[in-house]
């Protein structure tokens, strides 16, 4: 039985809803936020997961891509936000916090600030809530459900969608996560997982409204918001995604972030 890393964020709810109900005889699931799931995959605690794109790029010789699947955005991703007390252009030399949950988005944050805006900022990991963090820092990067809830309720801070900023500057999608397997997972298993992910994605696209109603965030975010969020994400992995990933890899290498 393959061990699959499960990220309990809204972005992957449709996929895991299907997998956990239709494929439970083939897979066991181990949950964690993106940074934790990356670590589990690296240590061999799990076999396959939707892991951060930077995890793949750092260990590409140890991993195999499950073809055709990612978590990406062509523009606004709506769940990766840099919240700031002043406009982003005014953050030179300022302290920016980033959530411990993220890896790819943290690297993207540095690329956006350093390369796109020419800012030399100070970066520090944090586990604080947004309001507490911004008492001592000028910016705070949040991801996932937490970021969406804060954005929905935001009345006090500037909010920058990193997927949108990347797309504006590059014209390419940003690949936040790939489905990857450890190198010892065989070809047949990769094919089977791909087939199940194909089925999950096809099924989920016709169930967004029902799934949104069952989501734990339905009351907080609203069903319409959740449906539009899922519809705006790109779950495929084709040539434009590969070009976006290659450019991210190039920027990471040039910035010394790998």
Short-list 140, 131, 128, 130, CA closest to 95: 140
Mean pLDDT of 136-146: 97
- Other Cβ atoms within 10 Å of 209 Cβ, number: 12
Q: Which overall architecture, per CATH, does domain 2-72+175-255 show?
A: 3-Layer(aba) Sandwich (3.40)
What's the pLDDT score for residue 46? Answer: 98
Mean pLDDT of 57-71: 96
Does 155 have pLDDT greater than 90? Answer: no
| Assigned fold of 80-170 | D-Maltodextrin-Binding Protein; domain 2 (3.40.190)
Domain with CATH 3.40.190.10 in the chain: 2-72+175-255, 80-170
Cβ density class 184-200: b for 16+ within 10 Å, e for less = ebeeebbebbbebbeeb
231 by Cβ neighbours in 10 Å (0-12 / 13-18 / 19+) ranks as exposed
Q: Which helix (H) or strand (E) holds 51?
A: strand 48-52
What's the pLDDT score for residue 69? Answer: 98
What's the pLDDT score for residue 24? Answer: 87
Alpha-carbon distance 195 to 26, whole Å? Answer: 13
Could you tell me which residues are beta bridge partners of residue 27? 2
What's the pLDDT score for residue 258? Answer: 87
- Other Cβ atoms within 10 Å of 120 Cβ, number: 10
Mean pLDDT of 109-122: 98
**Judging by DSSP bridges, how do beta strands 158-161 and 80-84 pair with one another?**
antiparallel
Does 58 have pLDDT greater than 90? Answer: yes
Q: Which helix (H) or strand (E) holds 149?
A: helix 144-153
């Amino acid at each position: 039985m393959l061990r699959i890393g499960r990220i309990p964020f809204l972005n992957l709810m449709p996929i895991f809803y299907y997998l956990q109900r239709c494929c439970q005889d083939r897979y066991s699931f181990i949950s964690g936020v993106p940074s934790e799931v990356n670590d589990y995959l690296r240590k061999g605690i799990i076999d396959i997961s939707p892991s951060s794109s930077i995890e793949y790029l750092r260990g590409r010789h140890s991993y195999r891509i499950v073809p055709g699947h990612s978590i990406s955005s062509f523009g606004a991703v709506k769940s990766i936000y840099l919240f700031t007390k002043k406009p982003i252009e005014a953050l030179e030399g300022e302290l920016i916090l980033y959530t411990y949950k993220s890896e790819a988005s943290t690297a993207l944050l540095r690329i956006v600030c350093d390369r796109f805006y020419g800012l030399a900022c100070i970066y520090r990991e944090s586990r604080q809530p947004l309001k507490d963090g911004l008492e001592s820092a000028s910016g705070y990067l949040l991801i996932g459900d937490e970021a969406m809830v804060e954005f929905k309720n935001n009345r006090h801070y500037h909010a920058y969608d990193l997927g949108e900023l990347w797309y504006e500057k590059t014209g390419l999608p940003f690949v936040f996560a790939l489905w990857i397997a450890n190198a010892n997972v065989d070809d047949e298993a990769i094919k089977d997982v791909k087939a199940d992910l194909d089925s999950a994605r096809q099924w989920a696209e016709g169930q967004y409204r029902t799934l949104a109603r069952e989501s734990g965030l339905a009351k907080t975010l609203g069903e319409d918001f959740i449906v539009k969020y899922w519809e705006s994400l790109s779950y495929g992995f084709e040539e434009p995604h590969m070009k976006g990933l290659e450019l991210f890899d190039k920027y990471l290498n040039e910035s010394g972030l790998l």
